[in-house]
Every structure is written in structure tokens, then in C-alpha cells.
Amino acid sequence: MSRIIAYKILLVLFIGTITLIGGLQLYHHRHFQTPIVAGPGVTEVKKLSDYGPGLDGTITDTNVFFLKAEQEGGKMLIIANTHSNEPAALLSSLIFLENAVVEKGTLIIIPQFNNSGGRNTRSGDGYPLYFEIKTHWGKKRFRMGNRVASPLDQWPDPDVYVHYPDRQLLSYLDIRNTNRTWPGRPDGALMEKLTYAAMELIRKENVDLVIDIHGAETMFPVTNCIVAPEKSMRIATMTSLTLKAMEGFDNHVEPSPSGFRGLSHREIGDFSDALPFLLEAPLPFLDQPTGPKTEDLLLNGKDPFLLKLSKKGKLFVPYDENGWPMSKRVGQHCSAVLEIAKQFTRKNPEKALLISNTPRYKQVVKNGIGSYFKDPSKAKKENIFHN
């Protein structure tokens, strides 16, 4: 009898310790803050809950940064961290947020769109909890998030997710995926409220261009590309051709399928006057046949298995010993965003959008991402923002 009790105590101590250590690390991850330093262009910071109901006071509510020029012009919205396990998006948006100066028009940035997903981890997939970017003042630490929102904020999932308003049936998991819940509804699930508020922002602020930034597997055909619906196709094509000719990197155009609902590049175009674009850069970290899921793989994209598969022609992007460093991916996004603004301005001079003090592909690759992040310990307090 006493032996059984001894076993019980041992097991409770053993598993209890694992649970406590692991649980605390996960708890800290959820509550970890990365300070964002508003740059010289930021004129106003709002909350997404200012635009739609049901977000106020929840962890899902997120900052909306406005960079407004004195001169009126076109309006562009950049959305990052729709999928928080595709971090090139967040890093690119922060380069704009901390540096850009808008000379004409308005730039609106939501750097942590699915904030709940950014505070979630992906069970079963063995990600690191954080990743760090080197800067001249030290390392800037970011949370590695998940593709879907945390069940701590939206629980339970349905047995099948019925998309609003098309009634298309989607996987139960996708009701927490903010690239499946567009255009959303004010009285739906929390993530539907989130995308609804973003739709309201787009409609109320008369946004002209919306860019949703992502990353995708190298073994997935829709990668290294700009996804655009019919109405955005001209600008997307011009952007792709110009980037190839002027900056020398590939970024082909993929048409947004009209039969697959809930995606930003489909619904934003259909439910507002804005032109949506979705940027994909290769993200070897997400591929299945890779070595350990380390921070190094996330940042540098070097993997022996992918290299072998690339030689057999199984990847959809060029791949060599150098992998796919984060700076290349972020640089591509920066150039693509700037080029879309430029092409839009050429077609619509009365709605010009002029952005300066933001690096393009070659500069990001040369100087590193970290050189564009400001030291929060030296910044003015009123310029530091947490979500």
C-alpha cells in the first residue's frame, strides 16, 4: 500500500514539474510584449475596436497605426500577422512603421492583426517560442505565433465552419483563421468580429489599397508571388514585371480563385472599393520535410532535405546552399509594397501615395533587418506601443 502511495507522489512530482515548467513558459509566451517604436511618420494610433463591436477589452484588440501626410492622396492599409507563424510579415510592417515618412496620402498599418494567434503556439509542430533579430543596439525579441487564434480567446470550434455570407463549408479549424473569416460579421465568432472591424476600417477610411503579407512553404505552388483578384490584376502584374526587371527577384502573379471564400484577397475586393493584394514569400521553416524546427531554420531557411529535394525539382522556388534568409524575404515584401503604391500612383495621380525613408530589397539584404529597428530604451515613452 505505501509503495503505491510513494509511486503516486513520485508521478505527481515528475509530471507536475514538467507541467509547471512548460505551462509557465507557455503563459509567459502569451503575455510577452515586444515594444514597437512609432517612427517619424506616425500621426495617430487607434485601436481596431474603434471600428467594430466586440473587440474592446479583449486580447484580440490590436493597434492601428496611421501615417498621414499633410497632402491628401491615396490610402494604403498594410496587414501583417494574419498568420503569426509567418513572421516576415510583421518584420516588414515594422520597417514601415518605424521608418516610413509619407509625403502624400495615408499609410495605415496593423502589424499584429491576429493578436490572439500571435500569442498562441502550434501544438504538435515543435516551433521555438521566440526568435530574435540582431540590431546595432542588441537583439529584438519576437513571439513566434500560430496560424490560428488561441482557443483561450475563441472556444469551442464548430464541427464544421460555415463561412459567412456564402455558406461555403470550411474546416472547423478555419473559424480561428483570420484568412478564412473575411468579410466577417459583427455578431459572429471573435475572429469574424475582427475581420468585420477591419472591413469597417477599410470602408470608413475609404482605403484604396490593402496589402495582406504572408509566407508559404517552398513545396507549395502559391509561394513567392502576389495573389490578386481581377480588379487588382493590372497593378499586380505591373508590380511583378517591374520588380523582376529593376530589382531582379521573381514574384509571379497568382489569380485569386473566386470559388474559395473567406480569403482577404477575395472578400476585401468584393465587399469594399479597395484593391486587395496578398504577398507570399518562401518560408522553408513551414515545409514538412525539414530538419529540426529551430530559430536558425526560421531565420535563415537553410535545410539539407530541402536542398536535396530542390535538386530533384520538387520545390516551387529556386533554392541553394544559402537557403532563404529572412532579410531576402522581408526585402521582397518592402519592395513589393512600395512598388504597388508606385504603380497605383501612376494610374491614379489624383490619389497619389508617396512613401519615403523606407528601404527596398537590396538595402534590406545589405544592411540587415535589424538596422531598421529603433532602440526602445532610447525612444520617447509616448512613441512606444504595446499590444
Partner 1 sequence: MPFIMIIYYLISAYLLALLIWNFIREEKSVDQMLQYILIMIPLILRLFRAK
Partner 2 sequence: MQTQIVFTFLVMISAYSFAKWRKVSVEISMFLAALAGGIFGAFTKTPPINQLARHLVEGSFAYLDVILIFVTATIFMAIISESGGVNYVVKNTIKYFYNKRLIALLLLMFITLIPGALTGAGSVSLLVVGAPVALALGYLGIKRRKVAAILFIIAGLSAAAPPVNIWAMILSAGTAIPYVGFELPLGIPVLLLGTFTVLTLGWKKQEKSTLESALKQMPQVPKGMKWWRVLIPFLVFFGLVIALRVWPFTLPVIGLPFQFVISAVFALILSPKKINIVKLSRDTVKKLTPLLSTMVAVGMLQQIMTATGVRGLISYAVISTPLILLFVSLAVIIPVSEGVFTYGGAAIIGIPLVWFLDSIGLHATVAIAGLSLLWPLGDGLPPTALIGRLSVMVSEYKRSYWSFLKSTWIPWVVITVVGLLMVIFSTQLDFLVKWSL
Question: By the criterion CB under 8 A, which residues form the site for partner 1?
Answer: 1, 4, 7-8, 11-12, 15, 18-19, 22-24, 26-27, 30, 121, 150-152, 155-156
Selected binder of partner 2 within 8, 33, 72, 171 (CB under 8 A)? 171
- 6 binds, options partner 2, partner 1, Zn ion, none, Cβ within 5 to 8 A by partner type: none
Q: Where are the beta strands (DSSP E) in 136-222?
A: 138-143, 161-162, 169-170, 209-216
Shortest gap between Cβ of 351 and partner 2 (angstroms)? Answer: 36
Determine the size of the site formed for Zn ion (CB under 5 A): 3
Exposed / middle / buried, residue 107 (Cβ in 10 Å: 0-12, 13-18, 19+): buried
Partners of 97 in beta bridges: none
265 counts as binding Zn ion under rule CB under 5 A:
no
Cα 4 off chain centre by: 52
For residues 44 and 125, which CB has a smaller minimum distance to partner 2 in the complex? Answer: 125
- 7 binds, options partner 1, partner 2, Zn ion, none, Cβ within 5 to 8 A by partner type: partner 1
Shortest gap between Cβ of 254 and partner 1 (angstroms)? Answer: 35
176 counts as binding Zn ion under rule CB under 5 A:
no
Q: From CA 44, how far away is CA 61, in angstroms rounded? A: 17
Cell of 117: 494567434
Partners of 384 in beta bridges: 37
Q: From CA 245, how far away is CA 254, in angstroms rounded? A: 18
Partners of 78 in beta bridges: 109, 211
Backbone angles phi and psi of 220, in degrees to 5: -110, 130
Nearest to 198 by CA among 181, 177, 215: 181
Shortest gap between Cβ of 152 and partner 1 (angstroms)? Answer: 6
259 counts as binding partner 2 under rule CB under 8 A:
no
126 counts as binding partner 2 under rule CB under 8 A:
yes
Nearest to 258 by CA among 230, 282, 277, 223: 230
Element (DSSP H or E) covering residue 102: strand 101-110
Selected binder of Zn ion within 193, 214, 360, 374 (CB under 5 A)? 214
For residues 59 and 315, which CB has a smaller minimum distance to partner 2 in the complex? Answer: 315
Nearest to 139 by CA among 317, 387, 375, 382: 375
25 counts as binding partner 2 under rule CB under 8 A:
yes
Selected binder of partner 2 within 129, 222, 233, 354 (CB under 8 A)? 129
- Cβ 44 vs Cβ 29: under 8 Å: no
Nearest to 385 by CA among 110, 119, 196: 110
- 245 binds, options Zn ion, partner 1, partner 2, none, Cβ within 5 to 8 A by partner type: none
Determine the size of the site formed for partner 2 (CB under 8 A): 54
Selected binder of partner 2 within 160, 186, 204, 257 (CB under 8 A)? 160
- 250 binds, options partner 2, Zn ion, partner 1, none, Cβ within 5 to 8 A by partner type: none
- 294 binds, options partner 2, Zn ion, partner 1, none, Cβ within 5 to 8 A by partner type: partner 2
83 counts as binding Zn ion under rule CB under 5 A:
yes
Cell 530541402, located at residue:
306
Name the residues that contact Zn ion, by CB under 5 A. 83, 86, 214
